[in-house]
Structure 1
Amino acid sequence: MTECFSTATYNQQLTNKITHLTDLLSEFSLPELTVHTSPLSHYRMRAEFRIWHNGEELYHIMYDKNTKKRVRVDSFPIASLLINQAMQAILPLLQHNQTLRHLLFQIDYFATLSGQLLITLLYHKKLGDEWLLQAQHLKQQLANLGINANLVGRASNQKIPVDVDYVDEVLPVLGNNFSYRQVENSFTQPNAVVNIKMLEWAISVTKGLSGDLLEFYCGNGNFSIALAQNFRKVLATEIAKASVYSAQHNIAVNNISNLIIARLSAAEFTCALKKEREFKRLHGIDLDTYQCNTVLVDPPRGGLDVATIDMLKEYQTIVYISCNPQTLQQNLQQLTLTHNIKHLALFDQFPYTQHIETGVVLQRK
């Protein structure tokens, strides 16, 4: 392992994040911060690379954020071992296949702890039957090298799976194995080991709470499926169709009987809850039968809008998963008017970057 990925380097970057987060939230009365570490290397389950054509040679590149210069990438220590194996294997095969290499500009890799792999090839051209035939051959060539991968081709307004466009992940969480279908080009937690720690934390801080759980931005059901064991009923919302499809599958495969997913945005659900508007997508769901004392939110980097914050203040317990400490701080300035911070956690989803993932539990005063 290189010096860049040494224990000392990792611990220093983590210390910097802890200091930054606690300084940023210093205006609030904070409980003890729990810190959840990442593996030093091979922790990332997703990786995207541009493909550089240098005569007959192909290689992966990334662009330096500061200099904007391209950097050749022959190995990628932050990505899973499976992704690194695929990176080494696929380019020599593509290099000698004119159909597959022509106007190829990017390759995305998507792996799981369960050993599944999805590779997406992105093109500046229309894909046809010959491409599909050659992609099927490529899949077999990879299998002959011991790499069992599903392949997807993407071009403008085109998506062609060779077989399927997803991977099935299995996460061991506090003695249970949760299965998650993860669809290509939809959101998933990129650091699977840290995701397990996030789920374990969420289960522990919600154990013993009364009533039902409401979750916004549920994605493929990552949190709601694991947390269903702690609540009488769970109602989760998600707007992205691919994520809703995955969540429905995941509910079924995990035999979760007390969880329903509604395809609504947070703003739409707020309108429905206040009976300001009816939605056909809520057909068959009687909101009056839910007693949601707890709400979980995992918003995008922009944080929560004003209407959602006002609605959250009505709940006894708020579980807030944040991917942006700046917007978290802004939202907490409003939420702490009615709630106290009971639990605070840092999850190192993205080592060696400035990115901080935070978990906060607030209890109504």
Structure 2
Amino acid sequence: MFSASANLTARRFASTRFFRSARAAASRGCRGVRLTAPRARLDVECRPESYSEELAEKIAIARSHFDDVCALPTQTETHESARTEFRMRAEFKVWHDGDRSYYAMSDSDRPKEPVEIADFPMASKKIRELMPALLREVTKTETLRRKLFQANFLTTTTGDAVVSLLYHRQLDDNWEREAEAMRARLGIDIIGRARKQKKVLAKDFVTEKVVVDGREFSYKQLEGSFTQPNAGIAAQMLEWARSVATNDSPDGEGSVDVSTRDLLELYCGNGHFTIALAPLFRKCLATEISKSSVAAAQVNMAANGVDNLVIARLSAEELSDALNGGREYTRLKDINLASYDLSTILVDPPRAGMGDEVSTFCAQFERIIYISCNPETLARDCRVLSKTHDVKRFAVFDQFPYTPHLESGVLLKKR
């Protein structure tokens, strides 16, 4: 079998040597040197002993994207992850070899060769407990095992769990009976998926509870929809977003009273950021294009007693058009846009970033809170935003330890 540990360890040392040489060149004044993350490949190893070094390398890469764009604060507000058991969701192929079945992932260099995953230390404690238990259950009977090709786990810090089983065949009443019995034994919710089929046993969501600044927030998280994968970091991101909404610096200097002003959020998803920020503002307006995410956000608003937030099912481009006096949108007919005093905008776009059009729209606001899962596109958008705004705070959030990926955030304030 493919030796993940040996290969990944060798690759990590090669990567470290590259970063060191690149940083050394940059320190000698070679401004043409651009630190670049290694290509993401299968990496399931946790390396607590080198965590700090690897994170420092990722931060150097993230900051390097801004070298010829705009000035960043000297201080990087660094939010570290738990070293193990930090992922609340995970997806595995289910591979069958004769009478034996096992979880597998694919290495990008050898995509047709499955890499067996006997354990996944990055996954939450609940996922690690469920992995062998679920495999034992589905391999007891051909009804549950036959043509099963994937298992997706979604869990919470409080032990809530839903598992989706994906099949290359249609699911019948026999499958439903045996899956329900398995669900009862494991104490979880089960979803069966096949082409044009979705069978939900109990429910298709989990409820996460997050304590932020001493207050507990509750979030309905739908199976199949985007959720923050690292719960510990998600809580830190909420705390940071609340902090930058009212402070220009991490030490509390330059405090801003936003209690009489309003917040706009684009790409709000299930209301993750908006609901935590809403208590700080007079009113909030948010947009989200996904119908299921809007429905989840409405549930989350009610669960958290948020009554000063309105969500419009529009794209960021459509709302910016409406706010700038463009066409009238049916989905805004019950929303009085003129009643909002929108001083702060929060954006958490996809990896592709916002682009010039939406960035130009955001430049109208006094304060911009930009959360990004791609520092490179964040820097690209800041090329537009920095024409009118200064970066007051810069933070990184290590959602995905031991990988090249790094979340980041900036607070931009109009000059």
TM-score higher than 0.5 here?
Answer: yes
- Which range moved further: 244-253 or 122-131? 122-131
Q: Which amino acid aligns with 2:318?
A: E
Q: Which amino acid aligns with 1:178?
A: F
Partner of 1:184: 223
For this pair of structures, how many residues does the alignment match?
Answer: 359
Q: Which amino acid aligns with 1:10?
A: Y
Q: Percent identity?
A: 44
Partner of 1:291: 341
CA shift for structure 1 position 156: 1.2
CA shift for structure 1 position 24: 1.7
Partner of 1:40: 83
Q: Is residue 20 of structure 1 aligned with residue 61 of structure 2?
A: yes
1:105 is paired with a residue whose SS is strand
C-alpha distance in 2 between matches for 1:6 and 1:91: 27
CA shift for structure 1 position 8: 2.6
Q: Which amino acid aligns with 1:124?
A: H
C-alpha distance in 2 between matches for 1:65 and 1:80: 24
1:1-150 aligned within 5 A: 5-27=46-68, 28-31=70-73, 32-68=75-111, 69-142=113-186, 148-150=187-189
C-alpha distance in 2 between matches for 1:209 and 1:281: 31
CA shift for structure 1 position 12: 1.3
2:157 is paired with a residue whose SS is coil
CA shift for structure 1 position 158: 1.5
CA shift for structure 1 position 334: 0.8
1:155-304 aligned within 5 A: 155-207=194-246, 208-210=256-258, 211-304=261-354
TM-score (norm 1): 0.96
C-alpha distance in 2 between matches for 1:75 and 1:153: 23
CA contact (8 A) 2:192 2:200 kept: yes
C-alpha distance in 1 between matches for 2:116 and 2:79: 32
C-alpha distance in 2 between matches for 1:128 and 1:291: 54
Q: Which amino acid aligns with 2:412?
A: L
1:44 is paired with a residue whose SS is coil
C-alpha distance in 1 between matches for 2:171 and 2:110: 34
Q: Which amino acid aligns with 2:61?
A: H
Q: Which amino acid aligns with 1:94?
A: V
C-alpha distance in 2 between matches for 1:168 and 1:314: 36
- Which range moved further: 278-287 or 324-333? 278-287
2:301 is paired with a residue whose SS is helix
CA shift for structure 1 position 209: 4.3
Partner of 1:309: 359
1:5 is paired with a residue whose SS is coil
Distance verdict in 2 for CA 1:125–1:209, change over 3 Å: farther
Structure 2 residue runs of 5 or longer lacking an equivalent are 10-44, 247-255
CA contact (8 A) 2:47 2:402 kept: no
C-alpha distance in 2 between matches for 1:23 and 1:204: 25
Q: What RMSD over aligned residues (CA atoms) do the two structures have, in Å?
A: 1.3
The CA deviation string for residues 56-105 of structure 1, in whole angstroms up to 9 with x for no partner, is 21110001123333110111000001001100101111112111111110
The CA deviation string for residues 117-161 of structure 1, in whole angstroms up to 9 with x for no partner, is 01000011112222211110111221xxxxx21100111122111
Partner of 2:26: none
Structure 1 residue runs of 5 or longer lacking an equivalent are 143-147
Q: Is residue 359 of structure 1 aligned with residue 396 of structure 2?
A: no
Q: Which amino acid aligns with 1:87?
A: M
Runs of 4 or more above 6 Å deviation: none
2:211 is paired with a residue whose SS is strand
2:110 is paired with a residue whose SS is coil
C-alpha distance in 2 between matches for 1:22 and 1:275: 37
CA shift for structure 1 position 29: 1.2
CA shift for structure 1 position 272: 1.6
1:16 is paired with a residue whose SS is helix
Partner of 1:145: none
C-alpha distance in 2 between matches for 1:321 and 1:119: 29
CA shift for structure 1 position 7: 3.2
The CA deviation string for residues 106-125 of structure 1, in whole angstroms up to 9 with x for no partner, is 00000001210010000111
